[in-house]
Amino acid sequence: MSNYYSQKVNVFHGRETPEDGYIVGYALLIEFVYSTTQKVIPTPKRLSIVTDKHQRYDTEDWQVFTKRHKPKNDISSHLFFALKYEGVDLYILKTVFNCFGEDPVLDMLKNQPTGQYSRRIWFLYEWLMDKELDIPDLKTGSYVDIVNSSLQYVGPSANSTRYRVKNNLPGNRSFCPMIYRTDKLERYISKGLSGQIEKGLSQKNKDIVRRTAAFLLLKDSKASFAIEGENPPNIRARNWGKAIGQAGKKSLSIDEIERLQDIVIGSKKLKEMGIRKSEGFIGEHDRETFEPIPDHISAKAEDLSSLLDGLIKANYILQKSNMDPVLIATAIAFGFVFIHPLSDGNGRIHRYIIHHVLAKTGYTKREMIFPISAAILNRIGDYQNSLEDYANPRLELIDWISTPDHHIKISNETIDLYRYFDLTQQAEFLYECVEETIEKIIPEELDYLEKYDRLNQQINLISVLPDNKVDLLIKILIQNNGKLSKRKREKEFDELTDSEFVQIEESFTEIF
């Protein structure tokens, strides 16, 4: 292994470095694991190198450190470096612990028994491995955080006296995704978008708000189906819309997930309703052999109980913390869709969970539906990228065989792939959608209804038409940029005179 410590690289796993340098921290640990076990690990978005120069800088893919930062030539020192400069990557840490055992942890504790990084690594080893080392509890020392809050977002803090650390991981052993603190996320959080909703609604007529909410409820439901490539009957879309309108009123649980699936699937039930009892994947089948071609492989059926229990507990704990609600929604909703616990309905329930978290935390207000699915549909390419960002690197880590019924059977342990992962990209994507919803979609609908009402009043002053005809006239005018063809006028609105039409078109132009 010694050559890995001293060998300069300019490419690492297909990723070019900004200049020649020595891989350190997680990059070196990934290389060590692969050389020892041939096990591939999904690489973090940003890795680290050390160069012979004296310039410290960052690029999109790399942190570049000076030679004075270079760790010693042992695994313990690179664990120390990773935790200090790169944050907590639970999947890599657990893989390293599985590969090299407790020796790196014991070495670190032998050299620095009370050092903050020694204690943090010690805690993470026992927490991840669910195993206690033969080491006595610490009796002295100030408490230190497990997660550096300047690097990553944290959950509620709890003292762990054995190591004299504060466990502020945003989850539990069964489910704990992480999100890095980025300039983009900090800008979104600082905008206080939730307050903009309340301020905007307080200035609007309550009837307009109520009607806008009713329209957006159906709009969001239809958008959520459209994302899945479905165009359901209106009654099915309305039923799902009603469920969205109740988001946040009930606690998230297995029973609630199964109830939501029952609503979203409609009257034609699946052969296997509820939590899956068999494996699942998203993808296609080969035209000739019918072999599965997965784009995403769902968590093993035998792991679902543990994963969902962890997710539901994390949801409950994080909602009572100071963590930003959009980040909580990211963790729980995207965690759910990556686990994919149902045979069908996962995507729509995943988006329902966004509603659930934002409503439960008070981020969105009861009087206004938050049409997040409409914003996602507007950014469908970015949404697909956010799902593939998780799925693609993990496909080669899952060993599976095709079954006689052209399904899949997973043959290796995969549970940690669905427990520990980075959701920074997904959090930034969701915040983009939240911003569009608050600053564009809701205001545009409120504005539309205000203009609709003004034009309705003007038409009633100009002529006498039944309400349903006024509604039809306004919508045709909107569709045709304020103009009606002579044929349409004669066919649909023969009771109106030419003069009245001119006045109505002029009113439309003035208002819209």
pLDDT on residue 217: 81
Q: Is there a single domain that holds both residue 52 and residue 189?
A: no
Task: Pick the last residue of a domain from 87, 102, 125.
Answer: 125
Across 329-362, b (16+ Cβ under 10 Å) vs e yields bbbbbbbbbbbbbbbebbbbbbbbbbbbbbbbbe
Name the H helices within 56-113.
75-85, 90-100, 103-111
Q: Is residue 187 part of a domain?
A: yes
Distances (CA, A) of 93 to 103, 117, 441: 14, 13, 42
pLDDT score for 392: 92
Any domain includes 488: yes
203 & 250 share domain = yes
Least confident of 28-32, 65-69, 486-490, 508-512: 486-490
Cα angle at 414 between 410 and 419, to 5 degrees?
145
- Element (DSSP H or E) covering residue 166: strand 165-167
Q: Clarify whether residues 61 and 191 are in a common domain.
A: no
Measure the CA angle with vertex 241, ends 236 and 243; round to 5°. Answer: 100
Mean local confidence (pLDDT), 75-84: 94
Per-residue pLDDT at 209: 78
Residue 144 domain-assigned (yes or no): no
Secondary-structure breakdown of the chain: helix, strand, coil percentages, each rounded to the nearest 5: 55, 10, 35
Note whether 144 and 120 are within 8 A (CB).
yes
Per DSSP, the residues of 186-250 read HHHHHTTHHHHHHHHHHTS-HHHHHHHHHHHHHHHHHHHHHHTT----HHHHHHHHHHHHTTTSS
Type of residue found at 483: K
Looking at the structure, tell me whether residues 118 and 204 fall in a common domain. Answer: no
Helix (H, G, I), strand (E, B) or coil at 18: strand
pTM: 0.91
Which of these ranges, 27-31, 45-49, 327-331, 451-455, has the smallest mean pLDDT? Answer: 451-455
The domain that holds 351 is classified in CATH as: 1.10.3290.10
The three-state secondary structure class of 303 is helix
Strand stretches in 101-162, DSSP E: 144-145, 158-160
Element (H, E) at 10: strand 9-12
Provide the pLDDT for residue 508.
Answer: 86
According to DSSP, the β-strands at 400-402 and 292-297 are unpaired
Residue range of the domain that includes 484: 463-511
Residue 56's pLDDT is what? 94
Last residue of a domain, one of 125, 159, 191: 125
Among residues 108, 125, 142, the one where a domain terminates is 125
Would you list the DSSP string of 477-505?
A: HHHTTT---HHHHHHH-TTS-HHHHHHHH
For 332-360, the pLDDT digits (tens) are 999 999 999 999 999 999 999 999 999 99
d(CA 32, CA 22): 14
- Mean pLDDT of the chain, nearest integer: 90
- Closest by CA to 304, choosing from 403, 400, 419, is 419
Do 425 and 488 lie in one domain? The reply is no
Residues 392 and 470 in one domain: no
Determine, yes or no, domain membership for 471. yes
Residues 177 and 420 sit within 8 Å (Cβ to Cβ): yes
- Are both 197 and 102 inside the same structural domain? no
What is the pLDDT at residue 236? 86
Domain contains 404: yes
pLDDT tens profile 52-64: 888 899 999 999 9
Tell the burial category of 196 from Cβ atoms under 10 Å away from its Cβ (0-12, 13-18, 19+): middle
pLDDT in tens, 97-149: 999 999 999 998 988 888 999 999 999 999 999 999 999 999 888 999 999 99
Q: How many CB atoms lie within 10 A of CB 389?
A: 18
Greater model confidence, 390 or 208: 390
- Asked if residue 391 and residue 282 are part of one domain, the reply reads yes
One-letter amino acid of 400: W
- Please check whether residue 131 lies inside any domain of the structure: no
Whether 307 maps to a domain, the answer reads yes
Is residue 188 located within the same domain as residue 274?
yes
**What pLDDT is recorded for position 159?**
96
Question: Residues 389, 468: one domain?
Answer: no
| Domain annotation covers residue 147 | no
User: How many domains does the chain divide into?
Assistant: 3
CA distance linking residue 236 with residue 448, whole number of Å? 26
Same domain membership, residue 431 and residue 291 = yes
Mean pLDDT of 365-381: 85
323 lies in the same domain as 412? yes
pLDDT tens-digit series, residues 269-287: 777 899 999 999 998 988 8
